């Protein structure tokens, strides 16, 4: 816990909504399925614990740890993929000549507009980042990387920041080795679901699933612990993907043996309703999942509904070939966990795709690992599955392959988004249309080149599959160099979440960039295609000011409120970390004056936030502390 510092504070009292949709999942043609399988039912699981975040830990006081990487063993053809990438790297290093972004001439789609943005999830020695985030209707953000978990409001005020091992210490799993976080906001239930893994041996492998009690992640969570070796075949669970239907939660993963050799893909189907209430949950699993070729499936990702509400019964899942090819595999789980459901596998033809070479960086010979062609992100809406993955743009350069899969016609349309001499990787995708019949999307992605540092960007693709130029979410500051290896980890994924109740469609994204320390910086941004989409401040604050500013000793906040209100005033630093709580209590309608002594605050830039009773930021003021 941070030491207490004397800090004086005195209060002088001079004193059209969007409708939630429920979409029926179209029935596919069973006669064209290549494979079908029934699930295995398991004994109902009781919650392991109920946890209120921050109850025993202030959250923002965590220390730097030793550099440690999360190594994913890879698919059965990982050596072939590695050889292909190396061959392409030789070709790439001989290439030259920039092309327009996405290779298109003429009219482009509207580029995303960046509104609010802020740093998130400090790098603390673990790699790769594995950025994941979700935002609730009332503006709470859950953001995680491979080592820590943070909660924010949509103005970037940090509510909690804890190492994953500290946050989940109440589970007493024997170590603090938690990794591969995944989070989503269930628009049907208006609550969060967080999934993290623990351990990488059959003995300690666990899948931890947490359900929030409300839209506010600080209100409490119910956590359940699934054995990662639930097949009892001496394997451990890796690389989760998550999705929800109207009724169930789906978690897919890859199983590996003690020699880190791929064993099989598995899918857990979990009754989500009791999870939000802390009840016993029924669950089943599908194992030995086979793709349309009759081969073992790898990284099968469930596709949640992209808009407000949900769909079902069951869910669709997608799996392009990690090593590339001319097909993608579609899976249909046909019912809810209490039904007599099964999983059907289909092979859907598409244009050829393949992994790229690894990415170059400016001012260094160190490369960035571009990964493979496994599915990175996706969603379902109105008969289409929208999903993204890596492909070779030409010359060994990485690009984003954005796909629309028509589930009833069993066909795919796509666009490759990239640029010669640049590498695009680890994409995420979400809808940006006003209704579920609109097909336009925003795609977040990482980008690097020999002439630029690793950065975080976003673009849009419109109804007609025309792409925009890209927008900088966070510019790279320096190259990434966290290990002695020639190839540095990157990704493995970026985060994205639509804010469902915004009057104008808004998407939030999270991703990494190279910071000034040659490490990973992490960033969150709010994006829209509508220039009027920026959210106005709540109306209770009529006027506020801080003076003097810059501050040398005492500073004063004048605050005029439209009505009597509970307020919380605090300071955060430029990294978003809370450094001082100044005042919590009631303020009257009309004029209020609060005066504070800066005390031991170091010189620098700070942000004074005023929160209301619902923890919404109603005003944000920048102040400068000087000697």
Same domain, 505 and 576: no
Same domain, 572 and 445: no
26 lies in some domain: no
Domain CATH code at residue 559: 2.60.40.10
Domain boundary among 528, 561, 595: 528
Same domain, 133 and 225: yes
Phi, psi of 218 (to 5 degrees): -80, -10
Name the DSSP class of 4: P
Same domain, 422 and 486: yes
Same domain, 387 and 263: yes
Domain CATH code at residue 304: 2.130.10.10
Per-residue model confidence (pLDDT) at position 12:
35
Same domain, 566 and 423: no
Same domain, 224 and 328: yes
Give the chain's length.
Answer: 627
Q: How far is 150 from 555, CA to CA, in rounded Å? A: 30
32 lies in some domain: no
User: Of 460, 453, 497, 490, nearest to 474 (Cα)?
Assistant: 453
Per-residue model confidence (pLDDT) at position 65:
37
Same domain, 565 and 501: no
- Alpha-carbon distances, residue 60 vs 63, 121, 162, 310 (angstroms): 10, 11, 7, 35
Which residues, listed in sequence order, are joined to residue 310 by a DSSP beta bridge? 22
Same domain, 452 and 567: no
Domain boundary among 504, 528, 552: 528
Q: How far is 248 from 260, CA to CA, in rounded Å? A: 30
Report the b/e string of 18-36 with b at 16+ CB within 10 A. beebebebeebeeeebebe
Q: How far is 437 from 474, CA to CA, in rounded Å? A: 31
Same domain, 523 and 415: yes
Q: How far is 419 from 459, CA to CA, in rounded Å? A: 13
Rg, C-alpha atoms of the chain: 24
234 lies in some domain: yes
The domain tally of the chain equals 2
Per-residue model confidence (pLDDT) at position 277:
95
223 lies in some domain: yes
Element (H, E) at 30: none
Per-residue model confidence (pLDDT) at position 245:
97
67 lies in some domain: yes
Same domain, 119 and 185: yes
Domain boundary among 493, 528, 563: 528
42 lies in some domain: no
460 lies in some domain: yes
Q: What is the pTM of this model?
A: 0.82
| pLDDT mean for each 10 residues of the chain (627 residues) | 32 38 85 90 91 58 45 72 82 62 63 94 92 95 96 91 95 94 96 97 97 94 97 97 98 96 96 96 95 88 96 97 95 96 96 97 97 97 98 95 97 95 97 96 98 97 96 97 96 95 92 96 96 61 79 87 81 74 82 83 83 71 83
Range of the domain at 615: 9-15+538-625
Same domain, 251 and 204: yes
25 lies in some domain: no
Per-residue model confidence (pLDDT) at position 59:
36
Name the DSSP class of 139: S
């Amino acid at each position: 816990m941070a030491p207490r510092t004397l800090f004086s504070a005195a209060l002088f009292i001079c004193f059209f909504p969007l409708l939630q949709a429920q979409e029926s999942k179209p029935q596919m043609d069973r006669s064209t399925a290549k494979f079908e399988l029934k699930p295995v039912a398991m004994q109902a699981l009781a919650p392991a614990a109920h946890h209120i975040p921050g109850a025993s830990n202030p959250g923002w006081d965590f220390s730097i740890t030793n550099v440690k990487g999360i190594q994913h063993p890879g698919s059965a053809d990982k050596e072939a993929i590695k050889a292909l990438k190396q061959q392409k790297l030789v070709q790439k290093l001989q290439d030259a000549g920039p092309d327009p972004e996405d290779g298109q001439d003429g009219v482009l789609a509207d580029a995303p507009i960046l509104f609010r943005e802020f740093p998130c999830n400090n790098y603390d020695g673990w790699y790769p980042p594995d950025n994941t985030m979700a935002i609730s209707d009332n503006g709470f953000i859950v953001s995680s990387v491979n080592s820590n978990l943070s909660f924010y409001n949509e103005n970037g005020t940090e509510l909690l920041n804890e190492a994953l091992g500290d946050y989940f210490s109440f589970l007493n799993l024997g170590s603090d080795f938690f990794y591969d976080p995944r989070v989503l906001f269930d628009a049907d239930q208006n609550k969060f679901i967080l999934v993290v893994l623990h351990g990488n041996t059959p003995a300690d492998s666990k899948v931890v699933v947490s359900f929030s009690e409300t839209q506010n992640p600080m209100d409490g969570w119910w956590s359940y612990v699934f054995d990662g070796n639930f097949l009892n075949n001496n394997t451990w669970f890796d690389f989760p993907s998550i999705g929800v239907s109207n009724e169930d939660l789906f978690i897919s993963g890859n199983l590996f043996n003690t020699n880190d050799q791929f064993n099989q893909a598995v899918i857990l189907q979990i009754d989500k309703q009791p999870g939000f209430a802390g009840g016993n949950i029924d669950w089943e699993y599908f194992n030995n999942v086979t793709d349309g070729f009759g081969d073992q499936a790898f990284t099968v990702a469930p596709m949640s509904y992209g808009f407000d509400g949900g769909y079902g019964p069951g869910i669709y899942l997608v799996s392009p070939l990690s090593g590339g090819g001319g097909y993608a595999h579609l899976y249909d789980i046909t019912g809810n966990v209490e039904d007599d459901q099964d999983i059907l596998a289909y092979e859907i033809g598409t244009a050829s795709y393949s992994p790229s070479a690894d990415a170059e960086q400016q001012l260094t010979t160190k490369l960035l690992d571009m990964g493979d062609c496994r599915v990175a992100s996706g969603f379902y809406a109105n008969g289409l599955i929208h999903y993204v993955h890596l492909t070779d743009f030409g010359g060994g350069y990485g690009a984003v392959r954005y796909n629309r899969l028509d589930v009833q016609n069993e066909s795919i349309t796509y666009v490759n988004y990239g640029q010669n001499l640049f590498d695009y990787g680890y994409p995420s995708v979400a809808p940006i249309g006003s209704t579920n019949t609109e097909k336009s999307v925003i795609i977040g992605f990482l980008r690097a080149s020999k002439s630029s540092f690793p950065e975080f960007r976003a673009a849009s693709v419109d109804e007609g599959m025309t792409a925009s130029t890209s927008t900088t979410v966070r510019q790279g500051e320096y190259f990434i160099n966290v290990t002695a290896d020639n190839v540095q980890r990157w990704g493995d994924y970026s985060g994205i979440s639509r804010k469902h109740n915004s009057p104008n469609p808004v998407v939030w994204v999270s991703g990494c960039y190279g910071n000034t320390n040659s490490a990973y910086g992490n960033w969150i941004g709010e994006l829209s295609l509508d220039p009027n989409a920026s959210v106005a401040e709540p109306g209770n604050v009529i006027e506020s000011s801080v003076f003097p500013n810059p501050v040398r000793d005492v500073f004063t906040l004048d605050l005029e409120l439209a009505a009597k209100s509970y307020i919380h005033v605090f300071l955060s630093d430029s990294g978003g970390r809370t450094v001082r709580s100044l005042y919590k209590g009631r303020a009257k309608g009309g004029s209020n004056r609060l005066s504070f002594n800066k005390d031991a605050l170091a010189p620098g830039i700070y942000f004074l936030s005023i929160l209301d009773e619902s923890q919404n930021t109603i005003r944000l003021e920048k102040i400068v502390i000087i000697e």
